[in-house]
Amino acid sequence: MPTRIAYEGKVEYLQILDEHGVLDEKLAKDTLSDEDVVELYRYMVKCRFVDETAFKLQRAKRMGTYPQNKGQEAAAIGSGFAAKRGVDWLVPCYRENAALWMHGQPMHQVFMYWMGDERGSKIPEGVCTLPLCVPIGTQMLHATGMAWAFKMRKEPRVAITYFGDGATSEGDFHEAMNFASAFQVPCVFFCQNNQWAISVPREQQMNSATVAQKALAYDMPCIQVDGNDLFAVYKASRDAIERARSGGGPAFIEAVTYRLADHTTADDARRYRDSEEVDAWMGKDPLIRLRKYLTGKGLWDDAKQAAADEAGRQTASDVVKAAEGAGVPPVTDMFDYTFETMTPEMETQRRTMRTHSLGQRPEQAGLRESAK
């Protein structure tokens, strides 16, 4: 009996704007207009200033551990711009601030989150984003479940979930991918392959040539894109989102990018990363690339850059004031926003602000009357 090929697959790579700011006009057709690119670049500059300010706050001990988004702005902004605000849901990990803000989540909430204030996770009504997710990979299951609900309700919505290359080694990733594929739910899996899972390089994290090819096991459309190329990220995301919205099922996007900063402010990447590698990727910075393109087209100049920088500094200042000026949350919040209906025991705890019986009923020790 002769053998036959049971399955063959391939992963395409997409780049439209290279690191020198040169655009492939043919591939760029019907993607981003000049006006779009100018506004998205301004927004990218603003997000970089806010991100750098968060880093300084941590160093000044005004914020807890913070994971910088520096270098990965094009991946977040390109995909976020492709999704429909107020319709599609963004399910992040912790390096997609730019996409969350683009969809209406207040910037200062992210600062509050890393300051240890739970109100940073209280998403405003009508904003279709989930809170930041630090546990690796768990959010992908949430996105898949949400997408399944969209399908059952016949709602034209899509869930986009973000994660890093290291998260694809988690069991949650494979469970989410298998479920999404089996039930053909409208979910887009967006991997920010920034080359490092904390201190573990991608080459040691997995033996596959690409991250995207993992989707082939689930018969899921997949593509690898230059994650620092705003045009490529937007096009791949738009195509995947609209295919999912029209009933085409889930898709997988691998955005090849780089973490220009440390994993978090609690990390020192100099202990495990080659400085030459970092310098090489610095030259591929999405902000530098986009500015080269805009300048070459006569759409940008030094005066516009100065104005964008000033707007970024002002935004960062406003965000800090809003986060630090939020005041201390009431202790009763832990009761009021945990359960819809409190038990009698919880009512007593809320009233007395005590969990032990002596604090709740001091008369049993003959100390004083029962707390009112």
Q: What is the pLDDT of residues 74-91, one digit of tens each?
A: 999 999 999 999 999 999
- Looking at 13, 20, 59, 272, which residue is catalytic? 272
What tens digit of pLDDT does each residue of 317-343 get?
999 999 999 999 888 888 888 888 998
Evaluate the CA torsion angle 160, 161, 162, 163 in order and state its sign. Answer: negative
Q: Is 174 a catalytic residue?
A: no
- Position 367 scores a pLDDT of 54
Question: Residue 365 pLDDT > 60, yes or no?
Answer: no
Q: Where do you find CATH 3.40.50.970 in the chain?
A: 12-324
Q: Is 20 a catalytic residue?
A: no
Question: Residue 359 pLDDT > 80, yes or no?
Answer: no
- Looking at 263, 289, 291, 293, which residue is catalytic? 263
What tens digit of pLDDT does each residue of 159-185 get?
999 999 999 999 999 999 999 999 999
CATH architecture of the region 12-324: 3-Layer(aba) Sandwich (3.40)
- Position 87 scores a pLDDT of 98
- Estimate the share of the chain in helix, then strand, then coil, as percent rounded to the nearest 5: 50, 10, 40
Following CA atoms 116, 122, 127, 129 in sequence, which dihedral angle do they give, to the nearest 10 degrees?
Answer: 50
Q: What distance in Å separates the CA atoms of residue 148 and residue 262, rounded to the nearest whole number? A: 36
% of residues, the chain, pLDDT over 90 = 87
Q: What distance in Å separates the CA atoms of residue 172 and residue 170, rounded to the nearest whole number? A: 5
- Looking at 259, 289, 291, 293, which residue is catalytic? 259
- Position 266 scores a pLDDT of 96
- Position 368 scores a pLDDT of 56
Residue pair 17/289 in contact (Cβ under 8 Å)? The answer is yes
Helix-helix angle 138-152:171-183, to 10 degrees:
10
Taking residues 181-209, report their average pLDDT. 96
Q: Is 259 a catalytic residue?
A: yes
- Position 334 scores a pLDDT of 85
What tens digit of pLDDT does each residue of 210-221 get?
999 999 999 999
For the chain, what is the mean pLDDT? 94
- Position 371 scores a pLDDT of 47
- Position 248 scores a pLDDT of 98
